[in-house]
Amino acid sequence: MRRTLAVELLIVIGAITATTAFAQDHYAPGIANIRDWIVPAPGLYGALYNYGLLTNSLNGADGNPINSVTFTGPNGRSATLNVGVNVNAYALAPMFVWVPTKKIFGARYGLFVLPSFTNASLNGLVSSELGTGITASTGQFNVGDIFVQPLWLDWGGKHYDFSYGLGFYIPSGKYQILTVSVPVIGDVRVASPDNTGLGFWENQNQGAFYYYPWPDKRMAIENLLTWEINQRKRGFDLTPGQHLTWNWGVSQYLPLKKDKTLLLEVGPAGYLSYQVSSDSGADAGNRAYDHVNAAGIQLGMTLPKQMIALNFHYFHEYSAVNQFQGNEYGLNLSVRLKGFKQ
């Protein structure tokens, strides 16, 4: 959701940011819980992710907030606009997981589908160098792009879990292209500011390693790598560059009852996400690679026998280049709907 907004920021009657100015990728590293990338016991599961982003800072190539945008049109003329940003984004993502009893290559096997529904309130304050500023807002709640992971393998032991997932994003979200008239420079083709999809397919490889200092797995140390390979963006000669993200976290269970039927889960978490290859195509431009780093905390409650977990987490992004820098919030619920006998 964050990257969807980063390229469709400003609308003011005839002024809108160029669509290729900022980063685009699907994976949101601040949405999942620390232990979410372990394949669970055989069964059918449901989860509900609630994700929010609050920011008033869109950073440029130097890592500092952007205060102005310069447009260059087909006629060669340019115009500079002063910029102010306030973004409130929300995504609702239900998840359905199926884990059969049969193993593959000695690993537990699972698959899942993750549709999304997104909403954003974008408020842009734009003024020309010589004119008066105008405030504009846009927002829409609609279907977003769908993630499908048909291959999810997990090899586990008393002190470790290693999992690998291969999945893809389907460009199913609302995606339209507009032609707007920008003062001085003429017509510019842009992605609609209320799009809820990115307009391209993406392949995702994901590998996770968890270490458990104690055999009862009361503590889990997470290391997760996510590699995104993007396809061409619809309506533009642009293929966004590849991204590599490292999620880290430490999850600690603390019993709230003597029989351990109710557990408190708490621990720090964070991520580092970096663009690792250049955008390509005639519309790609020449921009610095984007990245964003964040740290935060997770707090939740778990009923281990019923396999129900409710978790809240918060992330503060402490540095960003060529994208938004803000604060992320999440409230996630997961439930085992049906267990399978092994």
Q: What is the pLDDT of residues 221-264, one digit of tens each?
A: 999 999 999 999 998 888 999 999 999 999 999 999 999 999 99
Q: Does 125 or 13 have the greater pLDDT score?
A: 125
Q: Does 181 or 43 have the greater pLDDT score?
A: 43
Does residue 2 sit in helix, strand or coil? helix
- Domain extents in the chain: 2-339
Q: For residue 66, give the DSSP letter.
A: P
Q: How many CB atoms lie within 10 A of CB 104?
A: 10
Given pLDDT bands bounded at 50, 70 and 90, which one contains residue 216? very high
Q: Tell me the residue type at 55.
A: T
Q: Whole-number mean pLDDT of the chain? A: 83
Closest alpha carbon to 82 in 125, 18, 137, 20: 125
How many CA atoms lie less than 13 Å away from 234 in the CB half-sphere? 17
Q: Which CATH superfamily is domain 2-339 in?
A: Autotransporter beta-domain (2.40.128.130)
User: Would you put residue 63 in left (φ > 0), alpha (ψ -120 to 50) or beta?
Assistant: left
pLDDT (0 to 100) of residue 84 = 65
Q: What is the pLDDT of residues 204-214, one digit of tens each?
A: 999 999 999 99
pLDDT (0 to 100) of residue 75 = 65
- Read off the pTM: 0.85
Is 150 in contact with 111 (CB distance < 8 Å)? Answer: yes
Residues 6+ apart with CB under 8 A from 270: 247, 248, 249, 293, 294, 295, 296, 315
Is 204 in contact with 167 (CB distance < 8 Å)? Answer: yes
User: Would you put residue 166 in left (φ > 0), alpha (ψ -120 to 50) or beta?
Assistant: beta
Backbone angles phi, psi at 6, to 5 degrees: -65, -20
Mean pLDDT, range 175-198, rounded to an integer: 72
Structure tokens at 266: 């708490």
Mean pLDDT, range 7-14, rounded to an integer: 34
